[in-house]
Every structure is written in structure tokens, then in C-alpha cells.
Structure 1
Amino acid sequence: MKSEGHAEASPCEQALAAWCERFPVSSSGRVAVAYSAGADSTALLLAAASRWPGRVTALHVHHGLQAAAHAFETHARAFSERHGVPLQVMHVDASHEPGQSPEDAARQARYAALADMAHSARAVCVLLGQHADDQAETLLLALSRGAGLPGLASMSERFERHGVAFGRPLLATPTATLRRWLLDHGHPFVEDPSNADERFTRNRIRAVLMPAWDACFPGFRPMLARSARHAAQAQRLLDELAAIDLARTGVPPAIDALQALSRDRQGNALRAWLKQEGVAASAAQLDELLDQIADCTTRGHGIRLKVALGLVSRQGAHLRYLPPLQPPTL
């Protein structure tokens, strides 16, 4: 309970405090918030500024993908100035390459820009405003694609990219809760018109599936977030088991040592090994590789399987991953 005369903490402040208990933030250095000017990042920016007065920097990425982007930046500048929070803005080219999804291109450009600005600000971490609705949408999307545990784990509460620590304190907080608090307290935010474009799969999930789930299971969002945490925990255990098994098989793995493991443990170890090589095998490729390993009972038996753009092959007693040949530089 807060003492009399103090305003009760906002839902976002409560979520941020709980996240900081799990992932303590250094008592020195700046804390950055990825601030799009939308509702969720606005609530997070206010909560962070309340928790770390004078230590918070807002980071705004201007993607240039829609006409409204200029208005987002204008609002972000005015709001940050009003609340005494320094703001960094970076304009990026988020256009996508042939065969690349626009969402993926924008996401990669955004993380690179946030990391650059975080380094410049000497921030100890960057906080992101993804919330329980985003987590539920990510999990539903993973289920529809037949994803394994890494996909079902959805978005992690903390991760590192480009040498920067990122945090997601709001994954168990519904966006409706954040918006209601902002409106009740008169804090303005912008609406992204692209969120209503149902050409994008995630927007269709938001517009069609989420209301149907809500009608059948009111309050389901935190429950899906809990399921994602369970999947993440299970994946961490599998990663630990893979590390134990790879310590026994060696890296690259010895075929006879792999054969001493159960098929499931072989598959888990091979996924971890290939991840170290920077590639991911499809379920069909991994099944074929396991079959070839099971059949490898003589010294002259070969193994050769295309995985991603390279090859997994047998070299002596071990498996090897051969990356694709790079064209010679002129």
C-alpha cells in the first residue's frame, strides 16, 4: 500500500516494478524506452520516467513507411519535451528486399536503429512496449504455423541484440488496461492507421481471432502469456540438455556418440549444433538427418543432406556443416 497522499501506481508502473524484480536494472547509466508515440510506449515511457527520474531517454524510429510517420515524430517531440525526457530520433530506410516480408524488414531496421541510439545514449537497456495482446497474437501466429517450443515461447521478457539488452515489461498487461489508464489521466497518444490494414496477418488475427477468443474466454490474454512463459522455460531446459549432450558428442558431433542417445535427444542436440553454425533445419530435414544417422552403421556409409543453403555431411567419424561456397571477390 502506498502512503496517504501518494497516487497509486499505474498498471504500467506495477508491471515495470515486477519486471525489474526479475531482471534488475543497473543503478547507474541511462534507461532507454522505445517510444513510437502510440499508447503502449507512452504508458511505458511515463512509468519509466517515474521509476528513474532524470535517467530516461526516449528513442523514436521514423520508418518513413507511411505519411503519418511525420505526425508521430512531431507528437513524440512535443510529448517528450512536456515531460522533460530527452528524445533521440533516427530516420531509417525500412524498405524490404525481394522475398522479404515488409514486417520483417521494418523490424530489423527498427532494432538496428534502437541499438545505435542506445549505444549513443549509453543506455544500460532499452524497454519495449509489447504487451499481452502482442504476446497472444504472436502465440496464435506460431500455433497456426505449427511452430515448436521456440515459436510457442513467443516474445521473451529480456534478450540481447546488436550488443544491447532489451526488455519487455508489459507482456502480461493487456493494451486495454494501458489505454484506459492513459485516457483516465489525460495523456495523449497517436493511433497507427496501419494497424487496421487486414492485408497483414497479424492485423487479421487482431481483428478477427482475438475478439472470438475473448468472447469464449474473457481475460485470455494473460493466460496465453503464461503459456508462452511455460514454453520458454521448457525450451531453456532443452537447451541445457543439448549443452550436456554436445559436451559428450563433441562439436562437431561424433556419429557414434549421437547414436548412443535417444532419437529425441539426438534431434535436440543437432538443432543446438546447427544453431551454433547459424542455420536452422526444417522438421523434414531434421527427420531425414536422423534417419541417415540411424543407418550409418559402417565405416564407409556416407551422410549428405542439404540444410538451409549448406550441407551436413559425414567426414570420418563426425558430422560437418559445410556452408555454401561464397563467390570469389573481384
Structure 2
Amino acid sequence: MLYTSLEACFAVAVEKPARFVLALSGGLDSRVLLHLMGRYLQAHPEASCKAVHVHHGLSPNADLWAERCADWAAEAGISIEVERVSLILGKRMSVEQQARDARYAALRDYITPGTVLLTAQHADDQLETVLLALKRGSGPAGLSAMPQRMAFASGWLLRPLLDQPRIVIEQYANEHRLDWIEDESNSDERYDRNFLRHQITPLLNSRWPGIRKAVARSAVLCGEQEALLQELLAEQLSQAISADQSLGITHLNPDQPGSERRGKALLRFWFAAIGVKMPSQAQLEQVWHSVVLAKPDANPKVCWGDAEVRRFRQRLYVVQPWPDASGSILPVSVNQHCHLPSSLGSLLLAESEDGHLRLPLYNEPVSVRFEPAGLEVQPVGRVGKRKLKKLFQEYGVPSWQRRRTPLIFYGEELAAVAGLFVVEAFAGKDCDLTWHYEQEKVHNIMT
């Protein structure tokens, strides 16, 4: 029955000739899926499959597990790769979440266009996922749980066992005399999913034997509602997002009565579109009331995880928090790259026949700094001096970028602001300044 179900799933969801990558943990579920795939390849020699075992290094038995997975893959006639990943323990993110993120990041490298990643989640996993979403207070997006098929990397992710209860998978393993890995952490009920698995779902299944199917139907309905909402808002979202992935506040219609629900939905779809971890309901409320509805001259922000939402010139930006570089002072040598801190790339002050800066004098050591406070200068072509803060505003530099914009000093005097302007007193044709930032070249000076 299980093999027939697998073939039926592939017939509908997989293009031929099929190329599969199987995520093999070695636990019961993926062990059974490996055996099924061995049978499938024998019946369909035009298909191909590679197993990938992700070695997290969390268990003292991790090396043994990798060896056993390699042996089982060989028995099934399937090649295998072992990917070792490292986790940063002690962060606020749970070990479970870190391991999951690292696992999918490793698997992503194996997915080329047309390749299908196979994972072995089943109906009991889906029930647990919905219960965890309820515990978090998720909306339709979270309650839609795990789809059977979804886009992943440049290919697809398919869960062919998702409609099968765990007991059917156990029966298959016993019938074919398979052995598998028992991860000792699976019995640790400090983890929410294990608590549900051992304490809650057995009671639910004994009381309501059809609950797996009922919950699966609800998940599908929630997914359909979420997809419909996305479809209805797709055009508005595409108009609101610009090339730099910022979102126009005017498209949220914050001043119109009843706009909040639609606006928050657009915010969620924006976060999903640009790959930002979804905020909680309370954080989304903060984004709406503290950032979207802030006064135009305000400088608000809301932070969660590794993201912060900022506002500038009627647009919203998701900004990654960076270490403060404002105290850095780095020496610069003419014709040599200067590597900047905080992932800001590098600067090159190079001699040029058609530059914008004069050469520094022998008593003018060149340095790059990031502290604009108190500086007052006159850019080339301008009349009189202005505070650098006002000049940043004129040039459209958002507040969070102002202490990340390289300031080039000759001695103790500001000579140029990378990517923006040269100071009048240091203008010349001897040097050109180039800022290489995020693999893009911000060339010399806008004068």
C-alpha cells in the first residue's frame, strides 16, 4: 500500500525523467522512504536519486549514524553524500530551529532546476505542526502547516508520505525487517514536538481516530485561503515594492478607514517576498502603529530576530543590524585597497588623470572614519558650509546608513564622503575614490 501510494504521488507531482534528492536522517520515516526509493528506482531505471545525510554533530553517536546511513543507501543502490554542519549553541534561537535551518541550507546546495527534494514527514508530523502553530497563535499561513509539494531552491520539495499515519510506516518497516536510528533526543520532552508526540497526540488519536485527516483538511483549507489572499493582493504588492526591496507606505493606505487589516496582510507578504522571518502578531502591531503610522519626520524602528524595520521618505526598509563602526579609524594608502569593517566592502583611493580629489600632502595622513556628528563642510559646487547631517538628508541617505558611510579624512579634515561628494577645499584631478560595497561598485563621487 505504501509503495503504491508513493508511485501515485510521483505520477501526479513529478516531471519525468525524475531527479530526486532524499533527505536521509536515518530515523524510521526517512529509512522507510529510502527503502521505497530503492524499489522505485528498480521499477523506473530512467529516474535518479541521491541521498544526503546532514551530520549536525549534536549527538555522540552522530558519526555512527552517518556510517549506518551510508550502508543502508548502498543496500538500496542509492549514492549518498554526508554534509557536516555547525550550530552556534547558546543563542536565543532553539536548537531545533537552528538544526532545521542548517539542514535545509545544506540540502539547498543539491537542488538544481527540476530536481525534487524528498522529505519523510507524515500525517502525525502534520498534526503536531498544526498544534504547534495553534500554540504560537498562528493565522492561516501558519495553520496551513506543511504542503505536500512546494517550490524549494531552484527545484521542488515533495513530502510523499504526508498523508500516511506513522503506524503504517512502522508496519512497513517491520514487514521488510528494516532497522533504523533512534535519536536519543526524541525522548526528551523538553522539546515541544516530543511532548506533543508522547503525551498529547496519542490521547487525541485514541479519542478521535480521524483527527489526523480532519486536521489535514483544515490545513489545506487554511492554505487555500492564504493563497487566495496572496492572489488578491499580488498586484498591489508588486506596485508597492521597489527595486531595492523597500515598500511604499502610500500603497498601504494608512490614512483610509479600515485599511489596517489589508495593510498588515501586505506587510506579511512583503516580509515573505524578501525572505524575512515573520514577526509575531504583537511585533506586526508595532510595525503598523509605531512605524507605518509614525509622523513623516520621525525615525522609528521595530526589531525582531536579525531584522529591523525602518522608515525613510515614505518607504519601509528591512535593515540588518550591523556592529557599530562609528569608532573605527582606518589608515588609507593611495593605490591600495582599504578593507572596511562591518561588511562595508573596501575603498580605493587611486591616482587618476581625470579624478575628483587632489593628492594628499606629505603631512596629511589619509584615514577613513564613520562618525559624522558635528561635521560641517562645503561640497564642490555648493555655496557655503552645511552640517553633514543636513547634507545626508539632501542626498537621500537614510539615518541608519549615515554611520556606515565612509568619510575620507586628509589629516583631521574631512575631504570626501564616499559615493556622495568631495569637499571644496580638497577638489582636484589627481585621485579617484571608489567604494566597492556588496559586490557593487559605488564609483567615485557624485558632484
Q: TM (normalized to structure 1)?
A: 0.82
On the 8 A contact 1:139/1:154 being kept in 2, the answer is yes
CA displacement 1:282-306 (0-9 Å, x = unmatched): 323433554579978xx96868452
Cα distance in 2 for residues equivalent to 1:20 and 1:71: 32
For 1:241, give the aligned amino acid: L
Q: CA shift at 1:96, angstroms?
A: 2.8
For 1:154, give the aligned amino acid: A
Which has the larger share of helix?
1
Distance 1:123 1:49, change over 3 A: farther
Return 242-251 or 152-161, whichever deviates more: 242-251
Cα distance in 2 for residues equivalent to 1:256 and 1:32: 41
Map 1:114-133; keep pairs closer than 5 Å.
114-118=107-111, 124-133=115-124
Q: Would you say 1:36 and 2:32 are equivalent positions?
A: no
CA displacement 1:9-31 (0-9 Å, x = unmatched): x31x2332343244223315x31
SS at match of 1:71: helix
Q: Would you say 1:189 and 2:142 are equivalent positions?
A: no
Aligned to 1:212: 203
Q: CA shift at 1:66, angstroms?
A: 1.1
Q: CA shift at 1:73, angstroms?
A: 2.3
Structure 1 unmatched ranges of 5 or more = 1-9
Aligned to 1:306: 302
Q: Which runs of 4+ in 1 moved over 6 A?
A: 292-296
Aligned to 2:93: 100
Q: Would you say 1:270 and 2:267 are equivalent positions?
A: yes
Partner of residue 166 from structure 2, selected from 172, 175, 179? 175
Cα distance in 1 for residues equivalent to 2:224 and 2:57: 38
Partner of residue 284 from structure 1, selected from 279, 282, 285? 282
Cα distance in 2 for residues equivalent to 1:109 and 1:250: 29
SS at match of 1:31: strand
SS at match of 2:100: helix
For 1:313, give the aligned amino acid: R
Which has the larger share of strand?
2
User: RMSD between aligned alpha carbons?
Assistant: 2.9
* Paired positions, count: 313
Partner of residue 59 from structure 2, selected from 53, 66, 86? 66
Q: CA shift at 1:246, angstroms?
A: 2.5
Aligned to 1:90: 83
Q: Would you say 1:253 and 2:248 are equivalent positions?
A: yes
CA displacement 1:2-52 (0-9 Å, x = unmatched): xxxxxxxx31x2332343244223315x31211222221122122223233
Q: Would you say 1:145 and 2:136 are equivalent positions?
A: yes
On the 8 A contact 1:173/1:222 being kept in 2, the answer is no
Q: CA shift at 1:254, angstroms?
A: 4.5
Return 30-39 or 206-215, whichever deviates more: 30-39
On the 8 A contact 2:114/2:154 being kept in 1, the answer is no
Return 302-311 or 67-76, whichever deviates more: 302-311
Cα distance in 2 for residues equivalent to 1:289 and 1:37: 43
CA displacement 1:141-195 (0-9 Å, x = unmatched): 1101111122111122233444453211111111110111120222222322221
On the 8 A contact 1:32/1:56 being kept in 2, the answer is yes
Cα distance in 2 for residues equivalent to 1:97 and 1:164: 33
On the 8 A contact 1:253/1:319 being kept in 2, the answer is yes
Distance 1:190 1:241, change over 3 A: same
Return 129-138 or 262-271, whichever deviates more: 262-271
Return 210-219 or 261-270, whichever deviates more: 261-270
Return 205-214 or 249-258, whichever deviates more: 249-258
Cα distance in 1 for residues equivalent to 2:168 and 2:9: 17
Cα distance in 2 for residues equivalent to 1:38 and 1:294: 47
Q: CA shift at 1:235, angstroms?
A: 1.2
* Percent identity of paired positions between Structure 1 and Structure 2: 30
Specify the structure having the higher radius of gyration (Cα). Answer: 2
For 2:235, give the aligned amino acid: I
For 2:261, give the aligned amino acid: D
SS at match of 2:26: coil
For 2:213, give the aligned amino acid: P
CA displacement 1:36-95 (0-9 Å, x = unmatched): 222211221222232333422222222221123233223222222222222222232234
Higher RCO (CA < 8 A, seq sep 6+): 1
Distance 1:89 1:118, change over 3 A: farther
On the 8 A contact 1:171/1:225 being kept in 2, the answer is no
Cα distance in 2 for residues equivalent to 1:166 and 1:256: 33
Q: TM (normalized to structure 2)?
A: 0.62
SS at match of 1:203: helix
Partner of residue 217 from structure 2, selected from 211, 226, 229? 226
